[in-house]
């Protein structure tokens, strides 16, 4: 049996589901005091795996500031996974024409992006001198190499085949990323939804190669302009547009805060992963998420 399967089975056996009646009875029997004795590990650890999480911080230097840098990076990785999960959930609902239901995971995505963006505050203490004390120990490690962040970008429609290359020798990571890269983005699904709801979207756009980055199209812009003309409470497509706008805006905030943090901590020095640092990030920011949602506002 694989170790993952053993872990899952162990988790399920240690975390026993309870009912509201059982919880009320336990509180009555203990007089409201918490349960403090368990036969094995605490159910909290069995569910959260906190004992595993807290073994994953392995700084490369003795500098105390590196722990902040490392843990903040790990927190961001967890947020990337959560955001990717929510976006995929939204996609399933959009493909099923469940527009109202899709709003919930998109709104959660926006809230998770707020949490992700707040993570940068934990690094505002870091000056170039602070970073330099441990930077050399990182070698060529760079956020550019985050596979989960690439999943988020691909799901949002930002597709660059060159960014698959760092993972070509990590079989599973590369396979999973390639699957996301070659699948429709959230924006592709939103455009297909507009077409199914009667908007005039050209067939060649609906049948395009989704592994290529979406190019803004006037028909999509016009469709969103029409959607926003109807301000009635039953216009779920308009609500979808606003939910997608919130996601795009907060993702833009993430990219800006990344740029600002790099500028604060290292100025215009070359990046650890071989890029030219600030200039690379500035070019990345120029790629707009859900572009026609923004350009349509000029015509509303």
Alpha carbon of residue 129 to chain centroid? 31
* Environment class of 78 (CB within 10 Å of its CB; exposed 0-12, middle 13-18, buried 19+): middle
> For residue 258, which of 122, 150, 120, 145 has the smallest C-alpha distance?
120
Binding-site annotation, residues for heme: 258
Query: In whole angstroms, how far apart are CA 256 and each of 8, 186, 232, 270, 275?
Result: 38, 22, 34, 18, 17
| Residue 241 · residue 293 · CB < 8 Å | yes
Residue numbers belonging to the annotated binding site: 135, 258
Which residues, other chains included, contact 164 with Cβ-Cβ below 8 Å and sequence gap of 6+? 150, 174, 177, 178, 181
Q: Cα 112 vs. chain centroid, distance in angstroms?
A: 8
Residue whose pair of structure tokens reads 């029409």 in the numeric block: 226
What radius of gyration, in Å, describes the C-alpha atoms of the chain?
23
- Binding residue positions for substrate: 135
Give the integer Cα–Cα distance in Å for 85 and 69: 25
Burial label for 203, CB within 10 Å (0-12, 13-18, 19+), is exposed
């Amino acid at each position: 049996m694989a170790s993952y399967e053993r872990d899952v089975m162990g988790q399920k056996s240690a975390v026993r589901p309870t009912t509201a009646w059982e919880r009320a009875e336990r509180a009555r029997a203990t007089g409201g005091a918490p349960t403090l004795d368990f036969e094995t590990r605490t159910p909290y650890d069995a569910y959260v795996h906190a004992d595993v999480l807290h073994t994953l911080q392995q700084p490369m230097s003795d500098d105390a500031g590196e722990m902040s840098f490392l843990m903040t990076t790990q927190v961001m990785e967890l947020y990337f996974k959560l955001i990717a999960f929510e976006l995929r959930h939204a996609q399933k609902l959009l493909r099923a024409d469940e527009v109202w239901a899709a709003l919930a995971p998109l709104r959660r995505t926006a809230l998770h992006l707020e949490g992700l963006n707040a993570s940068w505050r934990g690094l505002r203490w870091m000056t170039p001198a602070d970073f330099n004390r441990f930077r050399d120990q990182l070698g060529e490690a760079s956020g550019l190499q985050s596979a989960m962040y690439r999943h988020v970008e691909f799901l949002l429609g930002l597709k660059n085949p060159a960014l698959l290359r760092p993972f070509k020798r990590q079989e599973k990571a590369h396979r999973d990323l390639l699957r996301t890269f070659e699948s429709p983005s959230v924006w592709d699904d939103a455009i297909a939804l507009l077409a199914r709801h009667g908007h005039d979207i050209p067939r060649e756009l609906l049948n395009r190669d989704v592994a290529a980055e979406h190019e803004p199209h006037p028909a999509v812009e016009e469709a969103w302009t029409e959607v926003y003309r109807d301000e009635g409470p039953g216009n779920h497509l308009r609500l979808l547009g606003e939910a997608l706008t919130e996601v795009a805006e907060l993702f833009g905030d993430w990219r800006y805060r990344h740029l600002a943090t790099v500028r604060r901590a290292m100025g215009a020095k070359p990046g650890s992963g071989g890029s030219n640092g600030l200039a690379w990030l500035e070019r990345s920011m120029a790629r707009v998420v859900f572009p026609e949602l923004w350009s349509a506002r000029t015509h509303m």
